[in-house]
A and B are shown apart, each in its own frame.
Chain A
Amino acid sequence: MEAFPPITLILGLLILFGLLLGLFASRIGFPRVAAYVIAGIIFSPDLLGNVFKFSIGPWADTLTTISLGIIAYLIGGSFTVPQFRRIGKMIFSIALWQSFGAVLCVFLAIFLLGPIFKEIHIIPLALAFASIAATTAPAGTIAVLHQYRAHGPVSSLLLATVALDDAIGIILFSVMLSFTAGESLINSLGEASFEIGTAVLMGAISGKILALFCKHIRQGGLRFPVILGSILFVVGLAEAWSFSPLLACMSLGFLSRYFLGAGGDHLFAPIEYFEELVFIIFFTLAGAHFSINVFHEHWDLILLYFFARVIGKLAGASLGAYLTGAPRNVTCWIGFGLIPQAGVAVGLALTLGQQPVFREMSIIIVNVILATTLIYELVGPLFVKFGLSKAGEISLKEQRPRTRPQPPK
């Protein structure tokens, strides 16, 4: 019998190696996300994975589900009801339309052009990529805003839109996943309504209990196990009763903050530290799925997804801004700030592999999202900078990078 290394060893190596490469990448001004992906790729079956007999088995699915549950909880908890009221019509319109734009463009592009590239399973493939297309990585956009001290209407609206659109992306993804569960349209509608309704209800009940716990637990160290336990409980319940773990965790985050009231530090601060760890896990695991053959055979799909999503984001954001009477500056340039895509998209791609409908094509989905994440990480900040400079919101004085000065050679 062939001896495989223990799961803990694989995971430990991926996290440590990913983190080391990420830190090194930051020092030389390279995107950290790309370094995490490269760390995973190094341990993929086509490279060192085969030498060390690395196997990304079912344990990775469980880990991905829990990690995405944590991210969904944080996304749900980032809003309060009064904040929703203050956000304003224009931001909602831009966030909604740019998400719909990306989803629609990606779906149509793959559905119409997929057969030319000899892609099989066109409808599920188009649905899978469309459901991932809405999400945006806020970190890349915020880094550019910070670096150039950007300020003005485009910058403010951009910030609000990137904060909202992961929530919209997760809702669209969960709804799409619920619809694929049924065998007919009526059946699908019934399944989807049950899944979404149960997810929100379970999130609400668990949120109420979590808020009660956090109200009475004043030791910071004890709040963490309560919160993590609640997320695991909701994710587990979702798996057992077949409802959406992502929607349930988002409801848990949103409603626990609602029931507890104010700040939200007690509910989220202990978990926020985990966000980077979760993304390291996503990127290195996705990197470990890397396959040279899939990259080689599906380069056309990679380009198709990349350009269709960019066009959808640009057109959707402009339409959303136009419909609410935004200034011309906003209508023309806001879409450029919404191009980066990273962590949540990779997490969603990894999750799709667990669904029976997408299992067969999961390796294609993960590899395409992996490749486009790398491209978005490299060109996304350039898009953001371009849009902001065209809008006239970038100051000429660039902030000094926070790296140590190099000694003279």
Chain B
Amino acid sequence: MNIDDWLSEHPDLPDTISVDSSLIDILSIMLAPPFSKDIYIVSDNKRLVGHLSLKKIAHQLFPKYQAMHTRRQIIHRVTGGTVRDLMNAEFSYAKPHEELEDVFSLLLERDIEELPVIDDNSMLLGVVKFTSVLRYLVDKEKTDALCKL
């Protein structure tokens, strides 16, 4: 199965925000049901430009609860880091023509929960969630075992 087929069966649409959003608004979006640990930053022309995790935003918004800071965290705390400062602009992604097995290998290898899928113009098409793929693989294993019986 390739990712294009996977997305048509599992149309997981990730949360997206613009680079000018405030961190507290982003946190509210992420904490609203269905709760998500990742959010994607898109430019004005809807291209995917970055990624932020829930933990990173929490660190930035509630620094006084942290006893130790790295130097970067001190500066972020002092200068009130924006989405542009904080976001990870170099993130892992998948392309629609890739095979699901290869993408699952990538999720395992890089220890990530979900992978955005983008086309050649960097437009976000959806996400491949680790748990969804795992559920699919477990079901497949069970079906295969039943077939053998």
Contacts and interface: CB of A to CB of B under 8 A. Distances in A.
B67 to A, nearest CB: 5
B88 interface: yes
B109 interface: yes
Contacts of B81: 83
Given A146-B66, A219-B110, A163 B88 contact: no
Contacts of A74: 70-71
Interface string B81-115: 11011111110100000000000000001110000
A143 B79 contact: no
B85 A262 contact: yes
Contacts of B70: 74, 78, 268, 272, 275
Contacts of A260: 89-90
Interface in A236-295: 260-266, 268, 272, 275
A121 interface: no
Contacts of A275: 70
Contacts of B82: 82
B75 A142 contact: no
A75 B71 CA distance: 7
A83 B77 CA distance: 11
Contact of B87 (A80, A138, A159, A262): A262
A146 B67 contact: yes
A79 B75 contact: yes
Contacts of B85: 80, 82-83, 262-263
Nearest to A263: B88
A276 B142 CA distance: 48
A328 interface: no
Contacts of B77: 159
Interface string A32-71: 0000000000000000000000000000000000000000
B87 A78 contact: no
A87 B79 contact: yes
A interface bracket (residues with beta carbon within 8 Å of B): 35 or more
Q: Which residue, A139, A219, A262, has most C-beta atoms of chain B within 10 A? A: A262
B50 interface: yes
Interface string A368-397: 000000000000000000000000000000
B135 interface: no
A143 B92 CA distance: 36
A263 B64 contact: no
A220 interface: yes
Interface in A142-167: 142-143, 145-147, 149, 151, 156, 159-160, 162-163, 166
Nearest to B80: A86
Contacts of A149: 64
A146 B64 contact: yes
A77 interface: yes
A218 B112 CA distance: 12
Interface of B: 50, 64, 66-72, 74-82, 84-90, 92, 109-111
Given A145-B64, A262-B85, 5 more contacts: A83-B75, A160-B75, A163-B74, A163-B78, A266-B90
